[in-house]
Homo-oligomer: A and B are copies of this chain.
Amino acid sequence: MHEATLTIGQLADRSGVAPSALRYYERLGLISAARTGGNQRRYARTELRRVAFVRISQQVGVSLDEIREALDSLPAGRTPTPEDWAALSRAWRDRLDERIRLLGKLRDDLDGCIGCGCLSLQRCTLYNPGDSLAAEGPGARLVLPRD
């Protein structure tokens, strides 16, 4: 046990990601593997980190394509250091903050609507943020944040 490399099944068990998904990730260039003489994948243990980073990034709401770009920025040639990984994580941190902020605002707005019992097109900030729509004729337009 504790061998140098992992089979796809082992990586799947360890990461909680299905083998089919791991192959898919490989096609997208998110992870990579050496091959045995019989063409089977053998993963370096460091790939586990990459898989982990992928899943965490997805939770943050990043697309696989963007995750690939981020992973591409890791130093080629040498095994990424902890500091390399930390740098990537920091990049996501801001996005995470922003998402949390947006959801918080949504919750507050929703609270406001519950408070006034309205969901009203006339008064609710969810519908008529800053009354900025009044100039465009009668009736509010529903404008929700694009992201």
Among B16, B49, B145, contact of A141 (Cβ-Cβ < 8 Å):
B16
A59 within 8 A of B: yes
Within 8 A of B (CB), among A92-107: 92-93, 96-97, 99-100, 103-104, 106-107
Contact residues in B for A83 (Cβ distance below 8 Å):
117
Contact residues in B for A111 (Cβ distance below 8 Å):
93
Q: Bound state CA distance, A128 and B137, in angstroms?
A: 56
A16:B143 contact, CB within 8 angstroms: yes
B-binding segment of A19-27, A28-36, A50-58, A63-71: A50-58
Asked whether A59 and B144 contact (CB < 8 A) given A49-B119, A82-B118, A118-B85, the answer is yes
